[in-house]
Structure 1
């Protein structure tokens, strides 16, 4: 699946025009899917089309048998069930955009059987470890407050944790999305994975009780550094190259405004975790902030599940959120603990 579509020329017949979309229409369709997901889907689609070429099968429209066979091929290659599921979603998205129906029933059955085999063989779904407050403090302590990188990374980590933010949400923030408040700052999240209509949400971030991990003070320090470098508008979090240059973008790489990416957020967290000597540090990622916030907020005495979900932008009844909270309830509300064993 390509971000650019070779469409028929404008001087087509009226009948032909009824079956084609303009470049503007394709662009809006593509923007309905988050950029990170779009890139992953594009890679999945390209792998599928290459496989179809070697197997002499038609990728678009693909038959149910082709999808089932491709899912089987990925399983035989030892791919994780989640990887296969995403590949099927990418193929379905390509068919939807092109106006073709797609039958994934056979592929779903293949995947269902493979999940059981994968589990029996000891395979586990990879999950980013939840970041605890103790780990957060240890990571922040490794950052040099006298360097641009240290100030930026502290702001990324503690703001991301306080918001329960996705890494893509952090990367997308602009300076104008932050509004001072007597109790802290209000952050407008304009684009979110689960906000399909772009309605946005406002996240209230209060002052912290610990100076080292206070998200409001960390962001204020970073904004002061940005202002010192003449940056008072545009992206909140910018790239910093190995020469210490702020917002510098190598030719042909990265966003031209110098904005960091979601991958940069993950790299910042992983680097700080390694520096702090945390167990399984290399497994930490951008999602560790989100999981860590959910479990820490739910473990608090006055936890409010509805408020936690709204704060972090989880859908009502989110299976992912309930999965995080189960980690807390597994011991706090263990049904075997009070039966007299």
Structure 2
């Protein structure tokens, strides 16, 4: 079965190229052009890294790296800073932004892992190893929590309710079989 995500572009689209012209003075125009070249330089280096890791990482991992790091590039651009290599204080501010934006702690850890991997692949110092970043991650975990809640166990009463709620079709048997897949459980013989 083909999924639309399998046909995702192998290379990310280049950012919109536009020239900002300011009317007041020539110095401001030069400053705005240099900021655009900084974002283009970061994006170009990031795209080269993505091309380099094609085939070594899963497509889902590359998609996650691409989405998270492009977000980080624009975050840095808004603060007139370089994303590659990033300063640890920017990473701390980025974690604060993600924490306040409503993302889960697992999503923030994934973003930080991708940021760390991109820096390592480009042989830059890893800003995620900085003590301030570690402290901010601890703050984030205390605020959002660290893990998901564990699913409840299935006891004999729950299993009987599941069996009564499903039909005798292949789909119904599959759904119950999913919950009782381990042959050593005492509930596996109920299906036979």
The two structures have a TM-score, normalised by structure 2, of: 0.56
Report the alpha carbon displacement of residue 208 of structure 1 after superposing the two structures with TM.
5.3
- Give the whole-Å Cα distance in 1 for the aligned partners of 2:72 and 2:103: 14
Q: Structure 1: where are the runs of 5+ without partners?
A: 7-19, 163-204, 218-341
Asked if 1:88 is matched to 2:115, the reply is no
Q: Deviations over 1:4-53 (max 9, x none)?
A: 458xxxxxxxxxxxxx8896x6234214xxx6555544433333233233
CA shift in 2, pair 1:92/1:156, >3 Å = same
Report the alpha carbon displacement of residue 3 of structure 1 after superposing the two structures with TM.
8.0
Checking the alignment, whether the CA contact within 8 Å between 1:63 and 1:102 is kept in structure 2 is no
CA shift in 2, pair 1:109/1:57, >3 Å = same
CA shift in 2, pair 1:60/1:137, >3 Å = farther
Q: Deviations over 1:110-160 (max 9, x none)?
A: 1223444x27xxx675314233234344334322222x432332333322x
Q: Structure 2: where are the runs of 5+ without partners?
A: 1-7, 13-47
Any idea what SS the aligned residue of 1:139 has?
helix
Structure 2 equivalent of residue 297 of structure 1: none
**Bigger CA radius of gyration:** 2
Structure 1 equivalent of residue 190 of structure 2: 212
Asked if 1:142 is matched to 2:150, the reply is no
Structure 2 equivalent of residue 152 of structure 1: 174
Checking the alignment, whether the CA contact within 8 Å between 1:68 and 1:110 is kept in structure 2 is yes
CA shift in 2, pair 1:141/1:45, >3 Å = farther
Structure 2 equivalent of residue 70 of structure 1: 94
Asked if 1:30 is matched to 2:57, the reply is yes
- Give the whole-Å Cα distance in 2 for the aligned partners of 1:39 and 1:71: 20
Any idea what SS the aligned residue of 2:125 has?
coil
CA shift in 2, pair 1:152/1:56, >3 Å = farther
Structure with the higher fraction of residues in helix conformation: 2
CA shift in 2, pair 1:56/1:141, >3 Å = farther
- Give the whole-Å Cα distance in 2 for the aligned partners of 1:112 and 1:71: 11
- Give the whole-Å Cα distance in 1 for the aligned partners of 2:115 and 2:99: 16
Report the alpha carbon displacement of residue 92 of structure 1 after superposing the two structures with TM.
1.0
Structure 2 matches for 1:105-120, cutoff 5 A? Answer: 105=130, 106-116=132-142, 118=143
Structure with the higher fraction of residues in strand conformation: 1
Checking the alignment, whether the CA contact within 8 Å between 1:74 and 1:84 is kept in structure 2 is yes
Any idea what SS the aligned residue of 1:75 has?
helix
CA shift in 2, pair 1:55/1:150, >3 Å = farther
| C-alpha RMSD of the superposition | 3.7
